[in-house]
Amino acid sequence: MALEEVNVFNMADRRVEGSIEVVDPTGDTALEKTFDLEHEQDQNSGGVLGATGEYVVSVELVNTEIAGSSQASKTVSIDDTDAERIGVVFNTNEEYDPIVIRVGTTPKDFLEVAN
């Protein structure tokens, strides 16, 4: 599995539909995209991380909730735009939040929250 700069993973036990927005360190919207993912599908986007700094990642689900959650927002820090990636994981594993937003460099960094 190849990662792009922003990755949305559906590891929940149901289809998820919604939108993701990423705001860059200058306050501009770097990504605004919808998704409609079946269980274990993912969506990847490139051309988002133009500079190092703080990015605000917001996701919102439509017509569904996971463990009572339908939205999440988190500010993440990108220090290396060539190596670091943003991942959003929807999951129904009770050990983790239903919507996890984090920075990583490999698929395992994101998918460990679902296994």
Residue boundaries of the structural domains of the chain: 6-114
pLDDT in tens, 9-46: 999 999 999 999 999 999 999 999 999 999 999 999 99
3-state secondary structure the chain: CCCCCEEEEEECCCCEEEEEEEECCCCCEEEEEEEEECCCCEEEECCCCCCCEEEEEEEEECCCCECCECEEEEEEEECCCCCCEEEEEEECCCCCCCEEEEEECCHHHHHHHHC
Note the pLDDT of residue 5.
98
- Could you please state the CATH topology (level 3) that the domain comprising 6-114 is classified under: Immunoglobulin-like (2.60.40)
pLDDT band at 1 (very low <50, low <70, confident <90, very high): low
Total-model pTM: 0.94
% of residues, the chain, pLDDT over 90: 87
Structure tokens at 25: 């360190």
